[in-house]
Amino acid sequence: MAAKQLKKTGIFYGKVVHKAIQLDDRTTFLDWMGENMDGSRFVLFVRKDSEYQTKDQYRYLYSAIYQPLAEHLGYTVREIDGVMKRHFILENKLDFPEGWALSKAMDLDRELLAKYIDFCATRAAYEGLVVLPPNPQWKQGEI
């Protein structure tokens, strides 16, 4: 029988209400803890969620907006990335450090990245492309 592979890190979202943690998806958290950490000591690391970008945001941006828009307009995804960043920076009058280049990743917090994604979806709609909004149900495995 093969040994079970241990997932050492679990990332779970929630909020603190009256000094108590309320998880967005408690069942998934408990399942993960039971499968990976039962009987083990663990370290709990908490950080303010709005300060960090998420892989889910980038997955949505690249798969639901950049890729279809690139195909629709005949550009590469990299070209669309540069064009969208340029428009976003100019329209929002954002200041970045000297030497910053469009080819570098924009260091946006989660809130500003969400605004950027909305901006890109709106620009894609302006170009005649229908962009579906993110489906929150995929996180709960309902789709």
pLDDT digits (tens, 9 = 90+) for 26-50: 887 888 788 878 888 888 877 776 5
For 60-112, the three-class secondary structure string (H helix, E strand, C coil) is: HHHHHHHHHHHHHHCCCHHHHHHHHHHHHHHHHCCCCCCCCCCCCCCCCCHHH
Six-digit token string for 35:
């499968």
Q: State the residue for tokens 């998420």.
A: 54
For the chain (length 143 residues), average pLDDT per consecutive 10? 51 83 82 81 75 74 92 93 86 65 57 86 91 66 48
Rounded to a whole number of angstroms, the CA Rg of the chain reads 19
Structure tokens at 97: 């450090």
Rounded Cα gap, residues 32 and 27, in angstroms: 9
pTM check: above 0.85:
no
